[in-house]
Chain A
Amino acid sequence: GENVGLHLPTLSVQEGDNSIINCAYSNSASDYFIWYKQESGKGPQFIIDIRSNMDKRQGQRVTVLLNKTVKHLSLQIAATQPGDSAVYFCAENLNTGNQFYFGTGTSLTVIP
Chain B
Amino acid sequence: KAGVTQTPRYLIKTRGQQVTLSCSPISGHRSVSWYQQTPGQGLQFLFEYFSETQRNKGNFPGRFSGRQFSNSRSEMNVSTLELGDSALYLCASSLTDTSYNSPLHFGNGTRLTVT
Residues of A within 8 A of B (CB): 3-6, 32, 34, 36, 41-46, 49, 51, 89, 91, 93, 95-105
Contact = CB atoms under 8 A, between A and B. Distances in A.
B25 to A, nearest CB: 12
A101 to B, nearest CB: 7
Interface in B25-82: 31, 33, 35, 38-45, 48, 50, 55-56, 58
Contacts of A36: 106
Contacts, number: 76
14 contacts: A5-B39, A6-B42, A32-B99, A34-B104, A43-B92, A43-B108, A44-B90, A89-B43, A95-B98, A97-B97, A97-B98, A99-B56, A102-B42, A102-B44
Interface residues of B, number: 32
A41 B108 contact: yes
A51 B101 CA distance: 11
A-B pairs with the 8 shortest C-beta distances? A43-B106, A102-B43, A5-B39, A3-B40, A99-B56, A43-B108, A44-B106, A98-B33
A36 B94 CA distance: 15
Contacts of A46: 103-105
A99 B50 contact: no
A41 B38 CA distance: 13
